[in-house]
Structure formats: structure tokens, C-alpha cells
């Protein structure tokens, strides 16, 4: 997969999956525009010294101005990969409106606004492009979202957005897809679930390879897919 001379936005790219995605993109020749919220994460980002990486502070991608700032800084956008989001364990009986709205903002609004900005940027270049969102396993298997219904509903909304938008922009040469990971093998997840069988969890590098293909020029026909990336979990 050849990304030489192609510019790619990776939102939330300084996390565990983001570092794997950006690493794979750099190996393929891409120039990466990576948003982040937390300065310590940006300082620890393993690819920060690469000349083809531009780190961009974004306080909240649920804010239209912050999204515009991020995408306006990117010339000739080819692909936009949206990793920003957050999980909350919370039974419905214990989830108030503030917690619900936080999940909506973190998972759905950020994705919607970034998709909107990406489509506009790609329309300006008239060269088509690729968008990859991140749903989740509960977005496809709702019963697995018990005790995290707000998270499940917002990730299901990401999946629905992906499929609807794919139909909307296919005529413009923009292919929109999503991946739906199960629990990924990250330090944070290992710490949260120390008794789990880590060997069955998909590795972030493996998930990154699926994202890379969907975002690549080699993907010429796949659109509207919400691709399970479960590993053996």
C-alpha cells in the first residue's frame, strides 16, 4: 500500500491504536496530521520527531471551530481516520443526562463533525478520498453492550453514520468504512482486566492493518462496511 505524497488526518492519534496506525502510515509513505488532547500523551508519542508528522492540539473535536482548525491545516487531504472516542461502564439506571451527553459528544459528535470536514476538504481537491471510522463490537452486537448502553448506542450511531455517508459520497470517489474492534490488547485494557486472556484480544498493530487498507488507494471498491476486527475474542 503506497501512501507517498498523500496527507492523512488521524484524530486521537496519540493513543495506543493511534500510534500503531500512524506508524503503519509512515512506513507506507504518508504525511500524518495527528490531533491530540493531552500534552503528556503528545510528548510520549513515539513518532513525534518524524518530519512527516504534524501534531495538532485539539481541546475538543465535538467543537466545530476545533475541527475546522484541524482540517484547514491539511493540504490535499486523502484520508481521514477517526479514532477519538471513549468508553464508559454505566448501567442505564446510573447514567444521568450529563454522562449520556458526554458519550454522545465523545463518540458520535466528534465522528460526525470530522466526517463533515473531511468530505468538504476532499470535495475541494476533487481527487476522492477515504474515511475510516471506529465503531465497536457492541455497535454490531447490542446485547454485548449491557451495562454500557450509552456507549453502545453512540457507537451504533457511528456505524449507521458510516453506512449512510458511504452511500451519499460514493459518487465523489470518497469511500467510507469503519472497523468494529472487540477489546484490544492495550496496556490500559490489561490493567482494567488483569484476569482476561490477553492472547485472544486483537493487537493494535493488527487492527491498524485493516484500517490502513480501508484508507488506502488499494481499496477501490469497499464502502459502507463496518468490519469486525475481533481476533479470537
pLDDT at position 64, please? Answer: 95
Domain ranges of the chain: 7-229
pLDDT at position 140, please? Answer: 97
pLDDT at position 179, please? Answer: 98
Give, for 44, the enclosing helix (H) or strand (E). Answer: helix 39-44
Residue 44 in this model has a pLDDT that exceeds 90: yes
Q: How many helices (H) and strands (E) does the chain have?
A: 9, 7
What confidence tens digit (pLDDT) does each residue in 8-18 have?
999 999 999 99
Indicate the CATH number for domain 7-229.
3.40.50.720
What confidence tens digit (pLDDT) does each residue in 137-196 have?
999 999 999 999 999 999 999 999 999 999 999 999 999 999 999 999 999 999 999 999
pLDDT at position 229, please? Answer: 97
pLDDT at position 233, please? Answer: 83
CA dihedral sign, ordered 232, 221, 12, 36: positive
Helical segments of 45-198, H only: 64-72, 97-103, 110-125, 137-140, 149-169, 187-192
CB 207 within 8 A of CB 229: yes
pLDDT at position 59, please? Answer: 82
pLDDT at position 63, please? Answer: 95
As a whole number, the mean pLDDT across the chain is: 96
Amino acid at each position: 500500500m503506497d501512501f507517498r505524497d498523500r496527507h492523512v488526518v488521524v484524530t486521537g492519534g496519540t493513543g495506543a491504536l493511534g500510534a500503531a496506525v500512524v506508524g503503519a502510515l509512515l512506513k507506507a509513505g504518508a504525511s500524518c496530521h495527528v490531533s491530540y488532547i493531552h500534552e503528556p500523551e503528545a510528548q510520549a508519542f513515539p513518532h513525534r520527531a518524524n518530519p512527516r508528522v504534524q501534531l495538532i492540539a485539539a481541546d475538543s473535536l465535538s467543537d466545530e471551530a476545533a475541527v475546522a482548525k484541524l482540517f484547514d491545516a491539511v493540504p490535499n487531504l486523502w484520508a481521514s481516520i477517526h479514532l477519538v472516542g471513549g468508553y464508559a461502564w454505566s448501567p442505564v439506571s446510573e447514567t444521568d443526562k450529563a454522562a449520556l451527553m458526554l458519550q454522545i459528544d465523545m463518540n458520535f459528535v466528534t465522528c460526525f463533525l470530522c466526517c463533515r470536514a473531511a468530505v468538504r476538504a476532499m470535495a475541494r481537491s476533487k481527487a476522492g478520498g477515504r474515511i475510516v471510522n471506529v465503531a465497536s463490537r457492541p455497535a454490531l452486537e447490542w446485547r454485548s453492550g449491557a451495562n454500557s448502553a450509552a456507549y453502545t448506542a453512540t457507537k451504533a450511531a457511528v456505524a449507521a453514520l458510516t453506512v449512510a455517508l458511504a452511500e451519499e459520497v460514493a459518487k465523489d470517489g470518497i469511500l467510507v468504512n469503519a472497523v468494529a474492534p472487540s477489546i484490544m490488547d492495550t496496556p490500559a485494557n490489561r490493567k482494567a482486566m488483569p484476569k482476561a486472556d490477553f492472547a485472544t484480544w486483537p493487537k493494535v498493530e493488527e487492527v491498524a492493518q485493516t484500517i490502513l487498507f480501508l484508507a488506502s488507494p488499494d481499496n477501490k471498491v469497499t464502502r459502507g462496511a463496518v468490519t469486525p476486527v475481533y481476533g479470537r475474542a
